[in-house]
Amino acid sequence: MADLVLPAPTPSLLPVAGSDALFPVRRIFCVGRNYAEHAREMGNDPDRDPPFFFTKPADAAVPSGVTLPFPKATENLHHEAELVVAIGTGGAEIAAADAARHIWGYGAGNDLTRRDLQAEAKEMRRPWDMAKGFDASAVIGALHAAPETGPMTSGRITCSVEGELRQDGDLSEMIWPTDQIIAFLSRLVTLAPGDLIMTGTPAGVGAIAPGQTCTVEIAGLSPATVTFS
């Protein structure tokens, strides 16, 4: 039998603001319940737990401006506006004080969630993978280099559906700020160039219906917009 030869997968590439360059995505890590009011709206205690993480496949990342078919197997698709941190220098056991040196840049992102599948998984105490890691579930705006943006420790973050404001918060409201997220995550895995970290969402998550357009905006960054057919 002849050896099976498969083509190398094409990496997901995200645009870089103000440039023709593209950022290759290696992995996507997501922080759960990182804003107190969102934790409460989901029925959890924001003061009790350390950060926890879940992942999306690298090819779940899609650039802003896409029109997508409405996801399969859900009747309750939710938006989650998030700051995305792009890692440029890898490492393990990174100290919070050194975290900024590992950040390439930032973007606005939408952690799309099949909420009905997530609720079912929670009820049965099963993993969230199919609720969070489905095709095209991470819509990400053009990335901005960290020297351009500064540290992104504060700034308005919003999400609108068909022009209606749904989420309205500030990055300063994170329970675990970016430097501490990187420090904590790098004790669990060795971070590498191309990794993305989606840093959690403020309160106000809600449904997106077929035919609607959803836009995430963060002060100083390019928006992340998606339309569902």
* pLDDT tens, residue by residue, 12-51: 999 999 999 999 999 999 999 899 776 676 666 666 578 8
Query: 171 in a domain, yes or no?
Result: yes
Q: Are 55 and 133 in contact (CB under 8 A)?
A: yes
Q: Is pLDDT above 60 for 1?
A: no
Query: 5 in a domain, yes or no?
Result: no
Six token digits for residue 54? 């879940």
Give the pLDDT band (50/70/90) at residue 63: very high
Between CA 62 and CA 109, with CA 87 as vertex, the angle to 5 degrees is: 35
**CA-to-CA distance for 47 and 185, rounded, in angstroms?**
19
Query: 1 in a domain, yes or no?
Result: no
Query: 6 in a domain, yes or no?
Result: no
Query: 4 in a domain, yes or no?
Result: no
pLDDT of residue 91: 98
Query: 3 in a domain, yes or no?
Result: no
pLDDT of residue 26: 98
Domain, as residue range, for 117: 13-228
Rg, the chain, Cα only: 17
The full DSSP string for 157-219 is: EEEEETTEEEEEEEGGGBSS-HHHHHHHHTTTS-B-TT-EEE----S--EE--TT-EEEEEET
Query: 209 in a domain, yes or no?
Result: yes
Query: 118 in a domain, yes or no?
Result: yes
pLDDT of residue 48: 58
- CATH code of the domain covering residue 85: 3.90.850.10
Average predicted confidence (pLDDT) for the chain: 94
Model pTM score: 0.94
For 184-206, how does the pLDDT look when each residue is reduced to its tens digit (9 = 90+)?
A: 999 999 999 999 999 999 999 99
For 85-128, how does the pLDDT look when each residue is reduced to its tens digit (9 = 90+)?
A: 999 999 999 999 999 999 999 999 999 999 999 999 999 999 99
pLDDT of residue 49: 72
Q: Which residue has the tokens 């926890």?
A: 52
Number of folded domains that form the chain = 1
First to last CA, the chain: 44
pLDDT of residue 9: 87
pLDDT of residue 44: 67
> What proportion of the chain, given as a percentage, has pLDDT over 70?
94
3-state secondary structure of 118: helix
Ramachandran region of residue 130, left (φ > 0), alpha (ψ -120 to 50) or beta? Answer: alpha
